[in-house]
């Protein structure tokens, strides 16, 4: 008997897409519910106390934070019944999670400070720009020491690290180029475009990308009306 999962959030969120990519790759049945970030509805806050997306609803209750969610999905839907997105060896499994954490915390979270200006028509201060450039430059060098791209980000197998990298690396590159005038990933020697194209050929990546495009068009239409 399969466990019903409801994925809540929206397809413009890279962390939502990280979880969605995992669900699709593992073949876990799920439904989607549109919930915008920073909702103040009590029903949402009961599931995700800061109003952040994504979160999932399960028969046992709700879970928030993308990495908590994907670790739960991996634990509750193990091999051989479902594709493994984490190696069986404990050390190699930890190395995959190390990469995910590095991408989420040291690349995407730093670049996120640039998103208001890069993607939402706002402005970020010169101080924020200098800080982001300094941190990203150093952190990208660190990322290069961990990433393998052989051909997957953690080595020769597709893992949950690819689900994190594919949805976030393009945002890091685009935000730095739009705000700082330079694609810091490419400047740091990370060929993220070839990697993104390679992973993007996967059918489930194409599904995630198509749904994201639909959401982009929907939100653009709403803004035009407003």
Q: In angstroms, rounded to a whole number, what is the distance separating the alpha carbons of residues 90 and 86?
A: 9
Omega into 150 within 30° of 0, i.e. cis?
no
In the DSSP assignment, the letter for residue 2 is P
pLDDT tens digits, 46-105: 999 999 999 999 999 999 999 999 999 999 999 999 999 999 999 999 999 999 999 999
Here the tokens at position 163 are 């689900």
Q: Are 70 and 163 within 8 A, CB to CB? A: yes
- State the pTM of this model: 0.95
Q: Are 4 and 31 within 8 A, CB to CB? A: yes
Per-residue pLDDT of the chain (226 residues; tens, 9 = 90+): 455 899 999 999 999 999 999 999 999 999 999 999 999 999 999 999 999 999 999 999 999 999 999 999 999 999 999 999 999 999 999 999 999 999 999 999 999 999 999 999 999 999 999 999 999 999 999 999 999 999 999 999 999 999 999 999 999 999 999 999 999 999 999 999 999 999 999 999 999 999 999 988 887 787 777 6
Q: Are 56 and 63 within 8 A, CB to CB? A: yes
| Torsion angle (degrees, nearest 10) of CA 63, 66, 72, 74 | 160
Here the tokens at position 191 are 């060929």
All structural domains of the chain with their residue ranges: 5-76, 90-225
Q: In this predicted structure, what is the pLDDT of residue 226?
A: 65
Q: Which CATH number fits domain 90-225: 3.20.20.370, 1.20.1200.10, 1.20.1050.10, 1.10.10.10?
A: 1.20.1050.10
- Burial per residue of 97-121, b for 16 or more beta-carbon CB atoms within 10 angstroms, e otherwise: bebbebbbebbbebbbbbbebbeee
Q: In this predicted structure, what is the pLDDT of residue 1?
A: 42
Omega into 80 within 30° of 0, i.e. cis?
yes
Q: In this predicted structure, what is the pLDDT of residue 3?
A: 56
Here the tokens at position 86 are 């984490």
Q: In this predicted structure, what is the pLDDT of residue 215?
A: 87
Q: Are 167 and 18 within 8 A, CB to CB? A: yes
Q: Are 106 and 139 within 8 A, CB to CB? A: yes
Assess whether the region 5-76 and the region 90-225 belong to the same CATH fold: no
Residue that is written with structure tokens 């080595």 in the block: 155
Ramachandran class of 9: left when φ > 0, alpha when ψ lies in -120 to 50, beta otherwise: left
Residue range 5-76, CATH number? 3.40.30.10
Q: In this predicted structure, what is the pLDDT of residue 2?
A: 52
Q: In angstroms, rounded to a whole number, what is the distance separating the alpha carbons of residues 20 and 70?
A: 9
């Amino acid at each position: 008997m399969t466990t019903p999962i409801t994925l809540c959030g929206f397809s413009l969120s890279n962390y939502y897409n990280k979880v969605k990519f995992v669900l699709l790759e593992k073949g876990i049945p799920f439904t989607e519910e549109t919930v915008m970030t920073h909702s103040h509805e009590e029903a949402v806050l009961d599931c995700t106390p800061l109003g952040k997306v994504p979160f999932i609803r399960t028969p046992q209750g709700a879970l928030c934070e993308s990495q908590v969610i994907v670790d739960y999905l991996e634990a509750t839907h193990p091999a051989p019944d479902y594709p493994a997105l984490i190696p069986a060896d404990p050390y190699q499994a930890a190395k995959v999670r190390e990469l995910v954490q590095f991408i989420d915390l040291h690349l995407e979270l730093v670049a996120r400070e640039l998103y208001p200006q890069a993607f939402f028509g706002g402005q970020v201060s010169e101080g924020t720009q200098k800080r982001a450039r300094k941190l990203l430059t150093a952190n990208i060098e660190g990322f290069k020491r961990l990433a393998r791209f052989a051909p997957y980000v953690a080595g020769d197998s597709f893992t949950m690290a690819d689900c994190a990298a594919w949805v976030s690396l393009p945002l890091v590159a685009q935000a730095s180029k739009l705000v700082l005038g330079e694609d810091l990933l490419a400047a740091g020697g990370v060929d993220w475009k070839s990697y993104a194209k390679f992973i993007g050929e996967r059918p489930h990546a194409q599904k995630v990308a198509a749904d994201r495009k639909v959401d982009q068009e929907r939100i653009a239409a709403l803004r035009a009306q407003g």
